[in-house]
């Protein structure tokens, strides 16, 4: 035989309301975390872009591009 439990409707209603509140709070936390992650991704994207441009400038402005040979006139090194 199956046993049936009598659970007061008021108790069920309070339980459901409690769960609804908890779900709403978790939803707010989730939204907050997602917006912070989006902001962090944007910030990282801006940092990566700036860093990449900085590296490009360093490689072009070094002035050391070319072959080095010994200059026999003054025993120094020059770049051609």
At residue 64, the pLDDT reads 52
Q: Say whether pLDDT at 22 is over 90.
A: yes
* Pairwise CA distance, residues 4 & 6, whole Å: 7
Would you list the DSSP string of 40-73?
Answer: HHHHHHHHHHHHHHHHHHHHHH-S--S-EEEETT
Would you list the DSSP string of 1-34?
Answer: --------HHHHHHHHHHHHHHHHHHHHHHHHHH
The secondary structure of residue 80, as a DSSP letter, is -
Band (pLDDT 50/70/90 cuts) for residue 39 is very high
Q: How high is the mean pLDDT of the chain?
A: 75
Residue with the bigger pLDDT between 6 and 44: it is 44
Residue with the bigger pLDDT between 66 and 11: it is 11
At residue 41, the pLDDT reads 92
């Amino acid at each position: 035989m199956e046993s049936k439990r009598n659970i007061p409707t008021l108790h069920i209603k309070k339980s459901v309301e409690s769960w609804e509140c908890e779900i709403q709070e978790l939803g707010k936390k989730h939204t907050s975390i997602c917006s912070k992650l989006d902001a962090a991704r944007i910030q990282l994207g801006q940092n990566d872009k700036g860093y990449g441009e900085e590296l490009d400038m360093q490689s072009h402005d070094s002035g050391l591009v070319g072959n080095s040979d010994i200059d026999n006139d003054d025993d120094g090194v020059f770049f051609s």
